[in-house]
Amino acid sequence: MDRMNYPERPPLKPKWLAGGRIRRHGIYWLPNAITTVALFAGFYAIVQAMNNRFGLAAIGIFVAMVFDGLDGRVARLTRTQSPFGAEYDSLSDMVSFGAAPALVIYEWALKGITEMGLGWVAAFVYCACAALRLARFNTNLGVVDKRYFQGLPSPAAAGLIAGFVYTMFAFNIEPEDVQWGAWALAMFAGLSMVSNVKFYSGKDINLRKSVPFGVVVAIVLVVVLIFQVVGNVPELLFGLFLVYAASGYVVWIVNRIRRKSSSPQAPPPMPPDGL
């Protein structure tokens, strides 16, 4: 049949080109400005590590953590959440908590490990695991239990690396003396991010809910303890992230032991007939 007898359909235009002009979607400036500050702090850490200023590099990563925790809360409080902000935040996290810690610990200690290239391999494993961790988090938002993270969160892994470097640098410990410890820590942090071990997220904490008096006393004791060691900030930060990184494995081991102890045991075999 001849196609000339039928009028051709006009080409379909995408929604963003409707009306013959491109639709411009604005972005919310406040939460994305905070994300930009976090991104800058991660980039600052990379630059300082390249200039052998590892103390400032570690501080840059911690500053990125602070602003990374603020942007989402500000977006929710001001009702300015957007898909653009979520994607931008994820890309910022990759720089600040993936590339920056890997480069910082590589420049500080791992590049001294020349055996079979194990130094840069550990740095790459950490960086790749951070990317995989972020990709899995973005795709499992509506699936996993919000009370727990699946795998070590990338900011906590970055805090573990930055806290270690900050502590060693503050006490003038030579990287050659702890380079294999740095290698093991980078591998542990990277593989923990892509593990299935659950880490408490704290998202179920309700600040408006009343708590027992003992909890208030415990909070006061923790604050006093922090002020007692405020002169040793690097040790405090590294210790906090180390305890959090170990907490997931401790809970996993305890749950395994409980499941084994609560599982029904097989009954003893019946004696043969005649006995």
pLDDT tens by residue, 14-42? 554 555 555 556 677 888 899 999 999 99
User: How sure is the predictor about 67, in pLDDT bands with cuts at 50, 70 and 90?
Assistant: very high
pLDDT at residue 109 above 70?
yes
In a domain, 3, yes or no: no
pLDDT at residue 267 above 80?
no
- What is the model's pLDDT at position 6? 47
- What is the model's pLDDT at position 37? 95
Helix orientation angle between 29-50 and 83-94, rounded to the nearest 10 degrees: 10
Question: Which stretch of 18-22, 43-47, 117-121, 234-238 has the lowest confidence by average pLDDT?
Answer: 18-22
In a domain, 2, yes or no: no
**C-alpha to C-alpha distance for 155 and 43, rounded to whole angstroms:** 15
**C-alpha to C-alpha distance for 90 and 99, rounded to whole angstroms:** 13
User: Which of 202, 163, 177, 174 lies closest to 61 in space, CA to CA?
Assistant: 163
Contact 241, 189 (CB under 8 A): no
Question: Which stretch of 81-90, 216-225, 241-250 has the lowest confidence by average pLDDT?
Answer: 216-225
Structural domain total, the chain: 1
More confident residue, 71 or 28: 71
Average pLDDT over all residues of the chain: 83
More confident residue, 59 or 214: 59
51 CB neighbour count, 10 Å cutoff: 11
What percent of the chain shows pLDDT beyond 90? 42
In a domain, 155, yes or no: yes
In a domain, 20, yes or no: no
Q: Tell me which residue range forms the domain holding 154.
A: 26-202+210-256
In a domain, 57, yes or no: yes
pLDDT at residue 105 above 90?
yes
- What is the model's pLDDT at position 191? 95
In a domain, 267, yes or no: no
- What is the model's pLDDT at position 270? 63
Question: Which stretch of 23-37, 144-158, 222-236, 241-255 has the lowest confidence by average pLDDT?
Answer: 222-236
In a domain, 48, yes or no: yes
Which CATH number does the domain housing residue 232 bear?
1.20.120.1760
Helix, coil or strand: residue 208: coil
pLDDT tens by residue, 128-176? 999 999 998 888 876 776 788 888 999 999 999 999 999 998 888 988 8
Provide the CA 35 distance to its chain's centre, in angstroms: 15
If you search the block for the tokens 């929604």, which residue do you land on? 15
If you search the block for the tokens 């993936």, which residue do you land on? 98
H or E segment at 22? Answer: none
In a domain, 35, yes or no: yes
**C-alpha to C-alpha distance for 118 and 184, rounded to whole angstroms:** 11
Q: What average pLDDT does this structure show over 85-97? A: 92
